[in-house]
Amino acid sequence: MELTTLSKSGNTSTPAYYSLGDCRVADFATIVEQPVDLGDFPLADRIDQGVVVYDSRSLRSRISEAPGRLEVQAEFVRVLSEGPGVLVLSGAFGDDGVLDAATDVFRGIIEAEKAAGTAAGDHFATPGANDRVWNALEKFAVADPDAFLRYYANDMLALICEAWLGPRYQVTSQLNQVNPGGKAQSPHRDYHLGFQTMQSAQAFPRHIHQMSAMLTLQGAVAHVDMPMETGPTFLIPNSQKYGPGYIASHLPEFQEYSNERAVQVPLGRGDAIFFNPALFHGAGENVSDDVRRLGNLLQISSAFGRAMESIDRARMIRAIYPSLVKWKASGASEADLQNVIAASAEGYAFPGDLDSHPPSGSEPPPAQSDLVAIALSEEWPPSRLATELASLWTRQPVVTDIRSS
């Protein structure tokens, strides 16, 4: 029996759930093969094989004032939702020193995990082909707080995260290093419903399929030049608009069509690519002789959704706070400091212990990010911040012995 939604008149309308019968390659092709017109995205620099490319230097001059910032963010939303679903920010990480320092830390983490026997493989590729580091955000913060600050102060990262997800977003990061000979991934969609089996995805109603993509932003920063032979991410522009795609992406006929239609855009070192998590995509095959294609994969979540990784953000804050204090004293801008806080601290107060920290009217209790901002403003010592952070998660005893008189 197929469940349907009802119109106000009581007539049946759209089925409430997607099924295998909804998955037709011809329908998918009609959406995917729509042209992408530069005229629809006037702030972009160019269209490369259906991918909208922006010059970060040009954007930086535009976003210095609030109206320009909102204009750019509105165009980003159009690209990611009703446009091709993917964009490149050329030169997003333009400071070579910042990128060099982060790359050194990343490669050090990869080698340390190999030596310790804890290295992970890529879940969408042939085992052993790639080097994967989970929870790279926390590991980076603890390994080199100074390098972490300068990397995650990046204005382009904050710009697009706020555009798609609003404030108080949650950053997570995984490293993926595709070595020479590393094979391509399978075409797929990403978290949330992209991390469900085909059968599990069918159990979620249609509106959840639509919502899933609004809770996450996918991105990657190129830490080396990524010409075509290194296998940059392959993409199927417009594919995020296909309704039953979380089911269809598992089907062989859709995999075959996606491989035929996929495009790849070479990236320069410091470029960043961002896309709707419902976009069909995957890492390409590295056929180069000697390039280890290192990318920092960014998965940014809405404050209202669950991030894929569990991160000890209090530990991160304790690690970076002394460096934050010194950086502020040396003249770091308020925007840079806020970008770092947004990338590291928990920005949303819920779930929380409302016995200890109840909301006041419609105003939520303070989140980690609020405490860090106050600590910087009032010049708290690290010990006080650590105590205040711990108090956010210290539950009051629950009274269970309630006797009637």
Q: 239 vs 81, 87, 221, CA distance in Å?
A: 10, 14, 22
Per-residue pLDDT band for 102 (boundaries 50, 70, 90) equals: very high
- Looking up tokens 């030169």 gives 91
What CA–CA distance (Å, rounded) separates 166 from 347? 11
The two counts, helices (H) then strands (E), for the chain are: 15, 13
Burial class (CB within 10 angstroms; exposed 0-12, middle 13-18, buried 19+) of 395: exposed
Alpha-carbon span 39 to 47, nearest angstrom: 10
φ, ψ (nearest 5 deg) of residue 382: -55, -35
Residue 358 has pLDDT above 50, yes or no: yes
Q: Which tens digit of pLDDT belongs to each residue from 204-256?
A: 999 999 999 999 999 999 999 999 999 999 999 999 999 999 999 999 999 99
Q: Rounded to whole angstroms, how far apart are CA atoms 285 and 181? A: 7
* Confidence check: pLDDT of 9 > 60: no
Residue written as token pair 């032979």? 229
pLDDT at 360: 72
Which two tokens mark 342?
């947004």
Q: Which residues contact 334 (CB under 8 A, 6 or more apart)?
A: none
Per-residue pLDDT at 356:
73
In the predicted model, is pLDDT for residue 20 greater than 60? yes
Query: Confidence class of residue 405 from pLDDT cuts 50, 70 and 90?
Result: very low
- Write down the domain spans for the chain: 26-301, 313-392
Percent of the chain exceeding pLDDT 90 equals: 82
pLDDT of residue 355: 72
How far is 77 from 164, CA to CA, in rounded Å? 6
Arithmetic mean of pLDDT over the chain: 92
User: Do 223 and 103 meet the contact criterion of CB atoms below 8 Å apart?
Assistant: yes
Task: Identify which has the larger pLDDT, 353 or 168.
Answer: 168
SS3 state of residue 334:
helix
Q: What is the pTM of this model?
A: 0.91
For residue 385, the model assigns a pLDDT of 97
Whether 1 has a pLDDT exceeding 50, the answer reads no
Sign of CA dihedral 336, 341, 347, 349: negative
- Confidence check: pLDDT of 7 > 90: no
Residue in the structure block whose two tokens are 């940014």: 300
Is 70 exceeded by the pLDDT of residue 8? no
Give the three-state DSSP class for 120: strand
- Rounded distance, CA 276 to CA 219, Å? 9
Nearest of 235, 191, 194, 239 to residue 215 by alpha carbon:
191
Q: Give the containing element (helix H, strand E) for 336.
A: helix 334-344
**Contacts (Cβ under 8 Å, ≥6 apart) of 75:** 41, 42, 43, 44
* CA–CA dist 293, 227 (Å, integer): 10
Residue with tokens 């403003």: 377
Question: Hey, which CATH number is domain 26-301, 3.90.600.10, 2.60.120.620, 3.40.50.620, 2.130.10.10?
Answer: 2.60.120.620
Please provide residue 340's backbone torsions phi and psi, each rounded to the nearest 5 degrees: -65, -45
The arithmetic mean of pLDDT across residues 114-135, rounded, is: 73
> Residue 222 corresponds to which tokens in the numbers above?
């190129």
Strands 86-90 and 51-55, bridge-based pairing: parallel
117-152: burial string, b at 16+ Cβ within 10 Å, e else: eebeebebbeeebbbbbbbbbbbbbbbbbebbbbbb
DSSP conformation class of 15: E
d(CA 40, CA 34): 13
Terminus-to-terminus CA distance in the chain, angstroms? 53
* Rounded CA separation 282/262 (Å): 9
Q: How far is it, in rounded angstroms, from Cα 306 to Cα 353?
A: 18
Site of tokens 């349907």: 4
Contact 335, 363 (CB under 8 A): no
Q: For residue 300, which of 164, 165, 171, 156 has the smallest C-alpha distance? A: 171
Helix (H) or strand (E) segment spanning residue 137: helix 136-143
Residues 87 and 77: beta-carbon distance below 8 Å: no
pLDDT attached to residue 404? 46
Tell me the per-residue pLDDT of 317-348, one tens digit each, with 9 for 90 and over. Answer: 999 999 999 999 999 999 999 999 999 999 99
pLDDT band at 402; cut points 50, 70, 90: very low
Banded model confidence at residue 5, pLDDT cuts 50, 70, 90: low
Task: Indicate the pairing of strand 293-301 with strand 281-282.
Answer: unpaired
Q: What is the pLDDT of residues 48-72, one digit of tens each?
A: 999 999 999 999 999 999 999 999 9
CA torsion angle 101 104 106 111 (round to 10):
-160
